[in-house]
Amino acid sequence: MTKSTRIAFALSAIAVVAVVGTLSSATTNALWNGSAPIAPITVTTGTAALAVGLSGADPTPNALTLPSGFVTGFLPGDRHDQGITLSNTGSVPLEVSATGSGVPGPMTLQLSTGSCTAEPAPTAPTLSDAPTRILSIAPGNTEVCLSLALSADAPTGLQGTQLSAALTVNLIGVTSPDDH
Amino acid sequence: MTTNRRSHLRRLRGVALLLTASLGMLAAAPAYAGWTAQVRADSGAVTAGTLSVSAAGLNTVAGSFTGTVRSATGSIVVTDMSATTSTQAADVTVAFSAPAGPAALTSVLSIAAWWTTAATCDASTVQPVNAATGTWGAGLTLTGGSLGRGASQRACVRTAYANMQDVASVTGSQSFQPVVTATSRVRGFASTAPEKATASTTVSNIFPLVIPDASWYQVVLAGTSLCIDVADNMKASGTKAVLWTCHATATTLATNYYNQSFRFNPYAQDLTMTPRHAQDTVLTMGAVDGATATITTRNLPSTNQQWQLQQVNTSTYALVSSDGRCLTAQSAAASALLVPAACAQLAAQKFQLRLSDTKA
């Protein structure tokens, strides 16, 4: 073996040892992991609640009584509007649907979003016994407009008659799927 | 393959299917159950309103017509009495009719009606060109009114006739009660208020015209022996006509009594009265109340020179100037003047004809 051959052999041996040493060191690293306590997490549940009131008045839970002027004295083609404040007193957005019962045949009951205007929006939903989606409301107050109209074709025989014993509008708020 | 091995494979397939189905169901089921909240709005009874309308002042529409009063103007006030909260104005019409009136009268009595903002309507009120017009017999409907809640609107109503003979009758009087029907309407709802006037529209003291033949007649104040006489047998235009004792006549009147002899000549729809002794003149009514009748030069178509011999009863007549005034004796005595006055079937207004000469 020449001298140069011996030197090359020696360097190769060192390199092999170094690689093996490195591999051995990586394998044993896991054994050095430590642990620490995590800070407590508070899980808070949302609330869903509605209140309702005539526009300009404080909304109250449960129910309101519509003013008599809203439901009396109709002539053909008359439309009476009543602004309503719908208040989402919960903490999550609500999808609001509505039903209207006791609506006489020649009349139309509509609920439109926003304050009452000269004419309800053409797309304002007509309420019936079946729930109709109205709008999505975030927590806080939202104005809607209830419109009751007597058909322009109502016959004269209806004059002075009671068209319905009572009118009831139910407003149902449901949490959005996205909030679960 | 052995039986045990096939059974084992079937069990494996069953487990795989069950797992697949369970996963599928989990994927299709609602992912949540939402929280809900509900509120309600209630009302009392829902009611329709009631339209109501009234008409007042009907008696002012009823006119009292005579030979001199040929037009009457009144007004009615239509008022909305509706029980409703509606702000819609009601369309208003007013119909005028005379359902129980004599057709001979109602068919010739004209009516005009128009809406006005004036406080009153009277003879001086100018009838607009767009007034609704017709006759009481055919009925008239005034349209175009509009009433808000509790509001009132006035309509002027004018009734008139043109010619006395159009409204003449054997009894001299005709009447009917006007009916005014106000209607308010809001689309399909309507309210009607038929109102009959308590006062009547009357025509008084207008009798049918008689046209004597072309003979000469003495005109005698009924119940007396006094005749219409041109004073002092004068021929001059402007000479007064008076009452004087009728000169006796057998078949013909003596020439010197021709100042008591008159012939009735048709003129237009009326007559002229020519004194036989002054045939270039005609009997002329005094122009104003109290002014005596005279003979004057023909000046036709002066209304004072045109007469109607209206038959009051079988044998008596009223001498009525074409402006509707009756020749009236101031007294039943010789020399009494003959003056115009409103026709009232007075004894001083009734005359009889006595043939004095058939010669034309």
pLDDT digits (tens, 9 = 90+) for B42-72: 999 999 999 999 999 999 999 999 999 999 9
pLDDT for residue B248: 79
**Residue A6 domain-assigned (yes or no):** no
pTM, entire model: 0.79
Between positions 61 and 80 of A, the ones with CB within 8 A of B are 61-66, 68-78, 80
Kindly report the CATH number assigned to the domain that includes residue A102: 2.60.40
- A10: in domain: no
Q: Report if residue A17 sits inside a domain.
A: no
Q: What is the pLDDT of residues A146-169, one digit of tens each?
A: 999 999 999 999 999 999 999 999
Cα distances from A153 to residues A91, A102, B45, B53, B148, in angstroms, run: 46, 20, 21, 21, 20
pLDDT at A124: 85
- Interface check for A159 against chain B (CB to CB < 8 A): the answer is yes
Cis peptide before A61 (omega within 30 of 0): no
Q: Residue B358's pLDDT band (boundaries 50, 70, 90)?
A: confident
Please report whether residue A135 resides in a domain. Answer: yes
Which domains does chain B carry?
A: 53-203 (2.60.40.10), 216-357 (2.80.10.50)
How many domains, chain A?
1
Cα separation, B200 vs A162, in Å, equals 42
Say if residue B181's pLDDT is above 80.
yes
Mutate to test the interface with A, among B38, B87, B147 (most CBs of A within 10 A): B38
Q: What number of C-beta contacts closer than 8 Å exist between A and B?
A: 173
pLDDT tens-place string over residues B101-158: 999 999 999 999 999 999 999 999 999 999 999 999 999 999 999 999 999 999 999 9
pLDDT score for B251: 62
Q: Which of A71, A72, A92 to substitute to test the interface with B, most B CBs within 10 Å? A: A72
Q: What's the first-to-final CA gap in chain B, in angstroms?
A: 155
Rounded CA separation B248/B189 (Å): 78
In a domain, A138, yes or no: yes
CB contacts, 8 Å: B187 with chain A: 75-77, 152-154
- Domain-located, residue A16: no
pLDDT above 70 covers a percentage of chain B that reads: 89
Average pLDDT, chain A: 80
Is A84 an interface residue toward B (CB < 8 Å)?
A: yes
The question of ipTM being above 0.95 is answered as no
- Below-50 pLDDT ranges, chain A: 1, 4, 8, 10-31, 180
d(CA B249, CA B331): 24
Q: Mean of the per-residue pLDDT values for chain B?
A: 90
The parent domain of residue A120 ranges over 50-59+75-154+163-174
